[in-house]
Structure 1
């Protein structure tokens, strides 16, 4: 028996490539459907869970959010999936299979079962058991590696979460103490504002998103749909822990907020920030925000140049 680790690794890699080819993953479509492998997996996961959000699919399939969004739109247009508001929280959109989608998934199962059955008929009982045990164990090991990887540990969540007021306040206080020399007065205002806002999260015009790493909040953004006039949304409390900056998480949070405002049919989004935060300004402008006003202010306990940005929807 060969116990050389490099030989074992090479054998597994070779077998994996062969399985990918034989199962049809190199083709544009999969399992006898007209859909891509990612779309087929999405349909199977939605059927398995009964209902899923787009964010859950992103995390389950390990795909970019933009790719999942495009795929979902295609499945909806094809009549395979519908998007319904969650009965407990109208801000959450659940993806469900249509009757057509259920028939498609049933056909996928028949196709896949036939593939496995045909292959297993070439093996005796002991070999079949070895295949089942080996594949299941290896799949779990691969998933464990992915979920434990530090960069993949950051996920997004929405709505109220215990400790969010204190954590978001802490991130603001720490960052702006260094950037603008703000102190206790600023921290207290952030805490009071956040505390008042989360009491209004039951209004579907308001929402709050958080970036989580190992169950710790490392980023946040909020849309307040009530405190501005003319159907304008107020983007508030956009912050990232300095240790988690540069990974694209802030862009994901801003994308969630802007998409929410578009779906909620606001006329525009407004935000207020401070001059000198060049990375933040560059990010805002990449999403179509424009500087509309700039003035010196003292309302935060220190003299700063405040900036107002606006994005028309």
Structure 2
């Protein structure tokens, strides 16, 4: 890894710069950083940071601005030339990673990601809690980026699990966008599981589409949890939240459609009163599967 990433060569990330200088530029890109803060991030001595910054300022990549409250404190920022250089660094890195991931088999990219995350957390020691330890918050209603993120989770998961492709992704995105236009209806709600600012799960109750003929049916839709959190309880919380809403609204039944073979999800449904009511072949997703309809009566 050290050899392929270029740490042992004279140049790094497609630049004539050392790894520490490239790291410094990426940190400075975030904005508002001081020399002291940069040294802490890079774990370098003050004198080393000072020499590095002097070279970057002289080369025209970095500028210093006196702090508003204390002019002795200098805030670092990229110049226009520095922004161009960092953009090129990011482009080089993206190409390097994309080329490597392209050689992996389907699903192996997730294995690499999880392995790197585990190893990074182990290197950090007890002071670096894993992503899964961060609190999960269940949030009701539309959130910025919801349609794109929920579609992305569905597309990626079902591409691996069921071999679905563009047709499935288009159906999910179109249906979800249409549903979000109807969220003002009091019997329609969507919830997201959030970890910080990131959406990591979703579930929705559509109270209209299956009740159009006068029946009183809640449609459970877009239930998914990100791969990284699957099996950690976030799915149970989302499902219980949605079913509590169903019961409070007094729906006579709750229906959901899924596919044969999703055993973990089926166990969740059956533990909460759903029973298999119908099975039929279907190809609306772009591939033939055995579709299943589960029904939960009002408790």
What interval of TM-score do these two structures reach, taking the shorter chain for normalisation? 0.5 to 0.7
Question: Unaligned 5+ residue runs, structure 2?
Answer: 1-126
Tell me which residue corresponds to 1:259.
Answer: 244
Identify, as 1 or 2, the structure richer in helix: 1
Q: Is the 2:279–2:293 contact (alpha carbons within 8 Å) kept by the matching residues of 1?
A: yes
- What is the DSSP-based 3-state SS (H/G/I as helix, E as strand, rest coil) of the residue aligned with 1:208? strand
Pairing partner for 1:278 from 245, 263, 267 = 263
Counterpart for residue 196 of structure 1: 178
* RMSD over aligned Cα atoms: 1.6
Conserved? CA contact 2:155–2:168, under 8 Å: yes
State the shift of 1:188 in Å: 0.5
Aligned partner of residue 280 in structure 1, secondary structure: helix
Cross-structure match for 1:22:
none
In structure 1, stretches of 5+ residues that fail to align are 1-144
The answer on whether the counterparts of 2:132 and 2:228 sit within 8 Å (CA) in structure 1 is no
Structure 2: distance between partners of 1:149 and 1:186: 29
Query: Which of 216, 221, 231 is the equivalent residue of 2:198?
Result: 216
Per-residue Cα deviation, 1:247-297 (whole angstroms, up to 9, x for no partner): 111000000110000000100100000000000000000000000000111
Aligned to 1:310: 295
SS of match in other structure, 2:142? coil
Normalization by structure 1: what TM-score?
Answer: 0.52
Task: Tell me what 1:295 maps to.
Answer: 280
For residues 165 and 155 of structure 2, what CA distance do their matches in structure 1 show? 7
**Which residue matches 1:162?**
144
Residue 148 to residue 177, structure 1, CA distance change in 2 (3 Å): closer
Distance 1:227 1:266 in 2: 13
Residue 207 (1) aligns with residue 174 (2): no
Cα deviation, residue 153, structure 1: 2.1
Q: Tell me: CA distance 1:148–1:226, structure 2 relative to 1, closer, same or farther (3 Å).
A: same
Give CA-to-partner distance per residue, 1:10-44, whole Å, 9 cap, x none.
xxxxxxxxxxxxxxxxxxxxxxxxxxxxxxxxxxx
Measure the CA separation in 2 of the matches of 1:252 and 1:167.
Answer: 19
C-alpha distance in 2, partners of 1:203/1:186?
A: 26
How many residues end up aligned between the 2 structures? Answer: 168
- Listed as ranges, the matches of 1:1-313 within 5 Å are 150-229=132-211, 230-313=215-298
- Cα distance in 1 for partners of 2:156, 2:134 equals 25
Call closer, same or farther: CA 1:302–1:149 in 2, change over 3 Å.
closer
Q: Post-superposition shift, 1:155? A: 1.1
